[in-house]
Structure 1
Amino acid sequence: MEKIEYLVKEKDSGERIDKLAATLNKDWSRSQIQQWIKDGHLTVNGKNVKANYKCNQNDRIVLEIPEPEPLDVIPEEMDLDIYYEDQDVIVVNKPKGMVVHPAPGHTSGTLVNGIMAHCRDLSGINGVLRPGIVHRIDKDTSGLLMVAKNDRAHEKLVQQLVDKTVTRKYFALVHGVIPHNHGTIDAPIGRDPMDRQSMTVIEKGKQAVTHFTVLERLDPYSYVECVLETGRTHQIRVHMKYIGHPLVGDPKYGPRNTISANGQVLHAGILGFNHPRTGEYKEFQAPLPDSFTKLLNELRQIH
């Protein structure tokens, strides 16, 4: 275990301990420091402190850097559909049916298994089972995801999600003909108290905002574009159900009498963000998967 010692200088007096410690090594992120503080690896004058501790001149900081956790996720060679990659970030188009990261009882065949075989240097902020994962999409949702290669890129991308500056446009087929062309759903989402495996619109939930545009009416369905302002679990699926237009094929939130589509017909088609190193805005677009296009064409032929 590596030990780092530092004596606080006069110019650093009054600085938060997590902010100061993060300047001691450019490879350490502030969130990594905060985790080390929480785990008791950093002390000030021999005592544990909180991340918001204000440093005083001549404080003696000791940081014992823990050994990396053994990674239990096995890299698996996959034919990944990578749209962009550099030293900081990967943008990948996830196919329908693929789980993003391992979970108990489901440790192989995930996007993370494939990403790890492609690239070993990933952000460790989300732990050993979700290296590099900045945001997720459901197993049966296809589309674009950004993956961080280092902790600093991860933090900056997550902050953009918090600041609502990431462009995320989804395309979906929903039940019913929506009469108006545009709409905004602003309804809080939280765990369903009657079913802990599901989410629902609930007063004590977290703020959730979805903007939608009707692209095409294919009675008795509507083809829509949904733009996420927030990113709650199952947000589009829950919100569209809430307004009476659940997603076609959705086994959890949709009606029993629906088109068999092996899960919800939902595609994360457009992803845009400011590059974490250069600040340059980058936007990527992935076409609808073949199964989605085929379904739309079949419905158009009926009309």
Structure 2
Amino acid sequence: MEVINIHHPLDERQIPNEPVVLAMGFFDGVHRGHQAVINRAKAEARDRNVKLAVLTYDHHPALVYRPLEPDDRKYLSTTERKLRKLDRLGVDRVFLVNYTGEFSAQTPQEFVDNYLVKFHTVAAVAGFDHTYGKKDVATMDKLAGYAQGRFDVITVAEEAKNQEKISSTRIRQALKAGDVDLANQLLGYTYRSTGLVVHGEARGRTIGFPTANVLSPEDEWLPGIGIYTARLKVGAIWYPGMVSVGRNVTFGDNRPITVEMNLLDFQGNLYGEPVEVEWHHRLRGEIKFDGVEALVAQLKQDEVATRDYFKRVAAD
């Protein structure tokens, strides 16, 4: 897959002189709704015997319009992961635009003239709620007017789960609530985050449940506080286990949130390893126990539940 990094104003020398079907969107998470858009564009590109291209952005457009809020720094898929998913979906070319104030200042007509036409678009494909400027004037139902017959416009209908729209916002809300099962259903795949294994307090080792402490980047979403079944990828190998997102409240108040994963049947030194965490299922919330014995008893139950979960997954 070819990735073309673009900064406004467009340097037309960057753009190959060949027609494309263009899917448009920010595509954070590349969830099932996004996949429907890209697959519709892929089918159109195949029918027209042209390449499939995607227009997306290097950061969320909200950063240009208002002061930063904590959630603005977080993504369901970093740019690198988004590009990998687009590649797997069969995209031939990505126009990765640096979303700046100057870029956002274009009128819808200027955006179409300066970008969609110069990308050699023969058909533009996006979701029904996609906008490419101010929401009242840059809607999909008005795009054909701006196109002026130079390319076709294809609008993809809403994808829904339980009669609710599948959206990045809904997935983020599910993750905040710890509902990774719903998040994974909406994504269409098992959610992953990345991190680095670092030293913790080593308390888990003393109670028979050693953990890998995963320092996670600030720009990735993590599930809310709770205990989960998960897999940890080290190198090319995936290890099943149970992971805690929490404050270790049994050992004191006002502690920082940590991500600590106990791997099943694993022995080794993981310090310094870059890892991926694949979030499968929420077992329970965080509990403040009266002492270590009660905590260990619960961890043993969690281990049984985790082993049972992965046995069922392997059997499916």
TM-score w.r.t. the length of structure 1 is: 0.24
* Greater helix share, structure number: 2
TM-score w.r.t. the length of structure 2 is: 0.23
| Greater RCO, CA 8 A, separation 6+ | 2
